[in-house]
Every structure is written in structure tokens, then in C-alpha cells.
Amino acid sequence: MMDHPTRIDLIRNIERALRDESLQRQMGKAMPASRRARADAAAELPEWESLRSTAAGIKDHVLANLEKYLRQLESQVSALGGTVHWASDAAEARAIITDLARSRGVRRIVKSKSMTTEEIFLNPALEAAGASVVETDLGEYVVQLAGERPSHLIAPVVHKPTEEIADLFVKKLGVPRYERPEELARVAREVLRAEFLAAEMGITGVNFAIAESGTLVIVENEGNARLTTTRPRIHMAVMGVEKVLPHLADLSVFLRILARSGTGQRSSVYVSLLTGPRRAGETDGPEELHLIILDNGRRRLLADPDLRGALRCIRCGACQNECPVYQHAGGHAYGSVYAGPIGAVLTPAYEGLERARDLPFASTLCRACADVCPVKIDLPGMLVELRARAVRTGLVSWRDRMLLGAWTFFTGSPARFMLAGSLGRLAQRLVARGGKIERLPYPLSGWTAHRAAPVLASTPFRTWWKSRQGEGR
Amino acid sequence: MKPVALFVTCLVDQLYPNVGEASVRVLERAGCTVAFFEEQTCCGQAAFNNGFQEEARVLARRFLDVFAHAPAIVAPSGSCADMVREWYPHLFRDTPALLNLARSIASRTYELSEYLVRVLGVTDLGARFPATVTYHPSCHGLRGLGLRDEPLGLLRAVRDLRLVELPAAEQCCGFGGFFSIKFAALSGAMLSAKLDTIEASGAEVVTATDVSCLMHISGGLSRRGSRVRALHLAEILAGS
Ligand code: SF4
């Protein structure tokens, strides 16, 4: 299976997204609401800033002692009767899961709450292995019906207006056209209920895994993760190595910042703490619990001092809601499972800068993302670092090189700078009308496609300054 | 008399010298003696932001040399001041010989409104500007330097100026340097959203602390045929 095909053409994807009126309308509605919710929820807590620092500190401590906590987690989960599998990459993770499903004769699978399984392209692999897989988060279910991938970390279907979902249900489920979100949710729940009852395996992600107790924590709002982890015979949990936390006490910090950052809730509706499979004498819970601990590029990131901080990410989606680029582009434009500012860092880190070379450049460096990130990831700093790497390895276009080369050449000394000004003043006679320029030639034509350009002043500041000094001031 | 060295920035020098002139007047009015070192060019932000760190280092090196002995360096640009403050120490982190100078220069570099209000403690410069004005907080000044009340305080003290609120003020205008050319359509879409809010504010003038954002905004206003004018904060403060 080809995990990461060709280069992501972000610029073309964005231009397509900008022409998609329904997407623009939908994002224009959803994003400001999410931003307001987060801002209000954060403002409610006087200790918000200190919570962020504490959370960042815990994450850094975990990252500095990662192998120790992972081993502790493994031994705790095993002691409880669960099985821990280590997967170094997506292919290995897929193989572990499909082999297990095959060996247990699993034919029906329900899934919940997992970007990590999106990251490893799990569904097609399971289907190829003869199992049906149904997403049970409402948003994910819609995305699956539409044959798409999630476009947001916690709101996978945020890009789709309700009317489109209504049409999709009519087409794919053969139900009458319902228009209200609650009715659509009811229809989906009815379908999903049958799936829960029939499934032999439930697959979930993991928000946090507690090393000291072997507890897996899943945070959600719909309750379907509960069903996914308890109703089927086998629970398969997939987590990235960075999801481990040392102590149960650490959890309270993260639960507070996660819900507030993601949806603006004070707390998520359901927080499930799963400690081991069903024990003798218990009446519910899965008979088998498998935990897959996935690397897939994370340890490489850990070894990278400039980008390591990205592993603090708790996938709250706040940076996406805040990012003006994401707001216009939508998640799919990023061409990968992680979108927005965090995606612009993770995708090049996981899938290679060569494939994702434009992503780090898709930012005005406005820093709104860094301001809201609850674990204080320096996303703009990482974008700048990735840009430098793209330049160093020859991954920027000839045009960009030329523009920046010319800029740095002409600003290299006052003489060259004045020369550039003089040349520019000569050249602009051809194009300036009424104190502005409506059309610049390539490579600057992009500027005048959307705005008029200013003209160079007839007298630069330094000339004025000289004459002023001359006047004896 | 407070001695300050004006870092006029490359865009101001060539495109908006009147902003430089206004900055000189405002600083003098606030009791400063202004020096302009002619060896200065560009802080290197454009190169740095686009990943050309070697080139940025060369420009930053020049800046360090030029301003090494300046007691205070003031720029009519939040993004250039932020470049010096935030990134110069980073650029020279592996060059111990320059790191101290970079840190010291960083600690002496200010954006204009920041210097006036935080360092000099001046908000009323005796300016008069009869117009309805709205203020766009440019991202680097806002989030990099933490400028919130400083520019607003200065504007409130201007006689005959009616300050009106800009809806969704803290959203980026979409300039982003070469971003505006590389992602031209996207930058245009962000600009368009900003222009909508500027027009909705009812202002005749939109102001900011960066000519770069203003160049982008005024280019958009002009393309729209809008009557709203874009002026740098210094131009308003120099009004009388
Ligand atoms: S980078 Fe920060 S804001 Fe973005 S999803 Fe991760 S934790 Fe949330």
C-alpha cells in the first residue's frame, strides 16, 4: 500500500478551496464560533496561563524520559492482562491489527476517536482483510459515508454544510431527507446501534495513557467510544508513543485544557478510564485488550531539537480554529491527516519535507496558533525552521530563490539599496499611474492580482535626512 | 533629551519616507534627539521568514555593527522590532562572539509606540487629527511585542480624532511578506475579510504600526475603490 504518494500541491488545493463557495461559507460560520468558545473558556480560568505551563512541563518531562514511561506502561498493561504491541511504522501497525483480526475471525469492526488510525491508513487494510469497518463518531461516520477523510482534529466534518450531509444520508442510507442536525444524528445512531451489537472488535485511539497504572484514557462527547471499548469482544487501542503520561494525577491538568481548547467546554462529556480487559467475575468489558504503541516517525522527531516540541501536541485543534490559513483552506487542502499549523509541522516531519515542502510556507507567521496552543508549542518557530531546511535542501522554487536573492543582494549595503531604489524609480515610470501600480510583471504579478502596488517615493527617507542635516538641523 | 537611533526600515526608506519623517517629528516632540545612521539597510526579516537564514545573518550582522553603540533603537515597525528582539539572539546562538551583542541590541530595540509609551511614558503628543480612525493591530506588534494599549492610548490622546473599534481586529490581514505573492489568492482572501471589517467600522482612516500591512491594506482599499485611507500611526501622531 502506498502511504504517501506524490508531492502535496498545497497552493492549487487552496485555490480550489477558495473557489468552493459552500466550503467558504461553512468555514466562515464554524471557525469564529469555535474561536469564541475557546477564548471564553480560557478566560474563565484565572490559572489558564499557569495550566499551560504545567501541561507543557509535564509533556517535556515525558519526552525526556519517554522510554522509561513506555516500558512502565507496557508492564502495567501486561500485568492487567492486556497485550502490548510495538509498531515502528504504519505498515507494521496495520499488519499487527489485520493479522489479529484475521486470527480471531473478526468480520465486523467499529471504530471511534482515532486520528492515529487515519494516520496509518487502517480502514482500507482492514477491508482488504475481509472485515467491515464502521466509524462511530458522528462526524467520522459522515466523512466515511462521503468517502473522504477528516478535515479537522476534533471536528472531522466541519467542512461540510448540514444540507450536504442531509443529501448524503438520502443517497447512501436511503432515508427521507432530514434537515435538522438532531434528526441526522438520530438516523446515524440507529444505523450505528446495529453495528455496535454486531461488532467483534472495537478500535479506538488513546488520548492519554497512564504509565503508573496502565490506564488508557479516552475523551469524547458522544458516548460511542464507551460502546466501542466495552461491547465488542476485543478492544484494540492505538496510540502514538507521545501519548503516555507518568501519573494519574497529571490527567486533571490535561483534561481541563483539552476540553476548553478544543470545544470551549469546561469538561468533555465522557472521559473513560480503561484499566485492563474484563477480569474474572466482571460482567462487562472486552475479553481481550490490545494496545499498539506506534512510532511512525515520532522518535525521529524526538531526536530533532528544533521540532521535538511538536510531540507535546494533545490534538485539541485550537490552532486550526485560530489559523486564518486553515479557515480559508479547510483541512483537506493540507493533503494529509494532520492539517492547520500543527499539520504544517507534523506532515513534513512524518512524511518528508520533500513531499510537503509548501506546507511550512503557508502561514503569515501571525502567531495566533502559538497564542492558543494549550501546551505552548512554538509552531511559528518550527515553521521558520522548516522553511530554512527547505531552502538548505533546495526545495524552494526558482522564483522564490530569485526574489529573496534579489532582495538580500540589494539590501546588502546602502549603496546597493540606493541603486535598487533608483532602478526601481526608472522602471516604475512604465507601469505607475496616479501614484500606484495596477499591474506588476512576473514574478511580482501575484501581488497585483489582488491589490494595487505602491510606487517608490521620489525622495527616499535618507535623501530627506541628508538635506535636513544640510539645513543645519 | 533622550538620544535615540531611528531604524527607518527598508520599506519606509524607499516607499513611505513620510512615515520616517513623521517618526522623527514625533520622537523629537517627545523630547528625543534622533540620530539616523546611514549605513543601515534592512533587518533581514524578509530573508529570515522565508528560510534564507544565511542571508538573514549577513543583514543582521550589518544591523549589529551599525547600531552597536546606540542607546536605544526605535523603528516605526512592530515586525522589524520583533525580528531584532525575538530572532537576532536565535540567529547568533552558535556564534558566542556575537550573541551578547545580539542580546544587548535586542534589549535596546523598540517599536515606536512601545518606546513612547513604555519607555518615555508619553501618551499625549499634542497631535490633532480630525477624522474617524480605526486601528488594526499588526500581528508581530500584537503577539510578538505585546502591543495592545500603547497604540490605542496614543490615538485616544489625539485631538479631534474619533477612534472606532475594528471588528475581529486581531485577525491577520494576510500580508505575511512573500506569503502575499507565493499564496497570492489566499492572501487576497484574508485581505478581503479585513477590508470588510475596516469598511464596516465606519472609519475614514485605518492605521497600524507597520507599513507592510498598511501597504497591503491600502492596495486592497485602492483596488476596491474605497474612500478609506491607510496611514501609519506616526503620520497621525505627527499631525497638528
Ligand atoms: S498544536 Fe497545540 S493547539 Fe494545535 S492541536 Fe496540538 S495542542 Fe492543540
Q: Which amino acid is at B219?
A: G
Other residues' Cβ atoms within 10 Å of the Cβ of residue B177: 21
pLDDT averaged over every residue in chain B? 97
Banded model confidence at residue A4, pLDDT cuts 50, 70, 90: low
Residue with cell 502575499: B180
Q: Helix, strand or coil for residue A113?
A: coil
Does the C-beta of A344 come closer than 6 Å to ligand 1?
no
C-alpha span between A434 and A420 (Å, rounded): 22
Q: DSSP letter string over chain B? A: -EEEEE---HHHHHT-HHHHHHHHHHHHHTTEEEE--TT----SHHHHHTT-HHHHHHHHHHHHHHHTT-S-EEES-HHHHHIIIIIHHHHTTT-HHHHHHHHHHHHTEEEHHHIIIIIS-------EEEEEEEE---HIIIIIS--SHHHHHHHHTSEEEEEEPPTTTTS--S-TTTHHHHTHHHHHHHHHHHHHHHHHTT-SEEEES-HHHHHHHHHHHHHHT---EEEEHHHHHT--
pLDDT at B167: 97
C-alpha span between B154 and B127 (Å, rounded): 9
Q: Which residues contact B39 (CB under 8 A, 6 or more apart)?
A: A414, B62, B65, B66
pLDDT at A470: 81
Mean pLDDT of B19-29: 98
Banded model confidence at residue A442, pLDDT cuts 50, 70, 90: confident
Q: Which amino acid is at B85?
A: R
**B20 min Cα distance to partner chain A (Å):** 6
Ligand 1 atom nearest to A261, measured from its CA: 8
C-alpha span between A267 and A269 (Å, rounded): 6
- A194 burial class (0-12, 13-18, 19+ CB within 10 angstroms)? exposed
Q: Which residues contact A345 (CB under 8 A, 6 or more apart)?
A: A307, A310, A360, A377, A379, A382, A383, A386
Q: Which residues contact A114 (CB under 8 A, 6 or more apart)?
A: A203, A204, A205, A238
Q: What percent of chain A has pLDDT over 70?
A: 99
Residue with cell 545573518: B57
Q: Which amino acid is at A168?
A: L
pLDDT averaged over every residue in chain A? 94
pLDDT at A339: 97
Mean pLDDT of A177-190: 93
Q: Which residues contact A33 (CB under 8 A, 6 or more apart)?
A: none
Whose CA is closest to A400, among A409, A391, A392?
Answer: A391
Q: Helix, strand or coil for residue A437?
A: strand
Q: Helix, strand or coil for residue A175?
A: coil
CA atoms within 13 A on the CB side of B134: 23
pLDDT at B87: 97
Distance of CA B113 to the CA centre of its chain: 9
- Looking at the predicted structure, is the pLDDT value of residue B79 above 60? yes
Distance of CA A283 to the CA centre of its chain: 38
- For A240, the enclosing helix (H) or strand (E) is strand A234-240
pLDDT at A6: 86
pLDDT at B29: 96
Q: Which of B20, B183, B191 sits opposite A14 (nearest CB)?
A: B183
pLDDT at B240: 77
- pLDDT top residue among A268 and A344: A344
- Looking at the predicted structure, is the pLDDT value of residue A65 above 50? yes
Task: Test B59 with A452 for CB contact under 8 angstroms.
Answer: no
User: In this structure, what C-alpha cell is assigned to residue A159?
Assistant: 467542512
| Per-residue exposure over B65-99, b if at least 16 CB sit within 10 Å of its own CB, e if not | ebbeebebbbbbbbbbbbbbbbbbbbbbeeeeebb
- Looking at the predicted structure, is the pLDDT value of residue B96 above 60? yes
Q: Could you tell me where the beta strands, DSSP code E, fall in A287-333?
A: 288-294
Residues 363-402, chain A, touching B (beta carbon < 8 A): 363-368, 370-371, 384, 386-392, 396, 400
Q: Helix, strand or coil for residue A129?
A: coil
Q: Helix, strand or coil for residue A110?
A: strand
Question: By CA distance, what is A404's nearest residue in B?
Answer: B47
Q: What percent of chain B has pLDDT over 70?
A: 100
Task: Test B176 with A366 for CB contact under 8 angstroms.
Answer: yes
> A207, A243 in Cβ contact below 8 A?
yes
Distance A288 CA to ligand 1 centre (A): 32
Q: Helix, strand or coil for residue A281?
A: coil
Query: Which residues share a beta bridge with A42?
Result: none
The whole model's pTM is what?
A: 0.95
pLDDT digit string, tens, across residues A376-403: 999 999 999 999 999 999 999 998 899 9
Residue with cell 533608483: A422
pLDDT at B156: 98
Task: Test A449 with B186 for CB contact under 8 angstroms.
Answer: no
Distance A397 CA to ligand 1 centre (A): 30
Q: Helix, strand or coil for residue A219?
A: strand
- Looking at the predicted structure, is the pLDDT value of residue B193 above 90? yes
User: In this structure, what C-alpha cell is assigned to residue A468?
Assistant: 535636513
pLDDT digit string, tens, across residues B131-167: 999 999 999 999 999 999 999 999 999 999 999 999 9
Distance A258 CA to ligand 1 centre (A): 9
C-alpha span between B138 and B211 (Å, rounded): 10
pLDDT digit string, tens, across residues A119-160: 999 999 999 999 999 999 999 999 999 999 999 999 999 999
Looking at the complex, does the CB of residue B78 fall below 8 Å from at least one CB of chain A? no
pLDDT at A2: 45
Residue with cell 507592510: B212
Residue with cell 447512501: A172
Q: Which residues contact A197 (CB under 8 A, 6 or more apart)?
A: A231
Other residues' Cβ atoms within 10 Å of the Cβ of residue B159: 12
Mean pLDDT of B70-81: 98
CA atoms within 13 A on the CB side of A428: 21
- Looking at the predicted structure, is the pLDDT value of residue A267 above 50? yes
**A350 min Cα distance to partner chain B (Å):** 20
Q: What is the count of residue pairs from A and B with beta carbons less than 8 Å apart?
A: 197
pLDDT at A113: 78
Q: Which amino acid is at A214?
A: G
- pLDDT top residue among A282 and A374: A374
pLDDT at A471: 75
Banded model confidence at residue A469, pLDDT cuts 50, 70, 90: confident
- Looking at the predicted structure, is the pLDDT value of residue B111 above 90? yes
Distance A409 CA to ligand 1 centre (A): 38
Banded model confidence at residue B45, pLDDT cuts 50, 70, 90: very high
User: In this structure, what C-alpha cell is assigned to residue A200?
Assistant: 467483534
Contacts of B14 in chain A (CB under 8 A): 417, 420-421, 424, 456-457, 460-461
pLDDT digit string, tens, across residues A88-119: 999 999 999 999 999 999 999 999 978 999 99
Does the C-beta of A313 come closer than 6 Å to ligand 1?
yes
- Looking at the predicted structure, is the pLDDT value of residue A170 above 70? yes
User: In this structure, what C-alpha cell is assigned to residue A385?
Assistant: 525552521
User: In this structure, what C-alpha cell is assigned to residue B6?
Assistant: 531611528
C-alpha span between A344 and A367 (Å, rounded): 14
User: In this structure, what C-alpha cell is assigned to residue A208?
Assistant: 492519554
C-alpha span between A150 and A136 (Å, rounded): 13
Does the C-beta of A155 come closer than 6 Å to ligand 1?
no
- A371 burial class (0-12, 13-18, 19+ CB within 10 angstroms)? middle
pLDDT at A1: 42
pLDDT digit string, tens, across residues A419-430: 999 999 999 999
C-alpha span between B51 and A385 (Å, rounded): 7
- Looking at the predicted structure, is the pLDDT value of residue A473 above 70? no
**A267 min Cα distance to partner chain B (Å):** 27
Residues 173-202, chain B, touching A (beta carbon < 8 A): 174-191
C-alpha span between B19 and B35 (Å, rounded): 16
Mean pLDDT of A38-60: 97
> A261, A316 in Cβ contact below 8 A?
yes
- Looking at the predicted structure, is the pLDDT value of residue B74 above 50? yes
Mean pLDDT of B55-84: 97
- A334 burial class (0-12, 13-18, 19+ CB within 10 angstroms)? buried
Whose CA is closest to A443, among A392, A391, A405?
Answer: A405
Task: Test B191 with A450 for CB contact under 8 angstroms.
Answer: yes
Helix axes A138-145, A181-198, angle to 10 degrees: 90
Contacts of A33 in chain B (CB under 8 A): none
C-alpha span between B88 and A422 (Å, rounded): 30
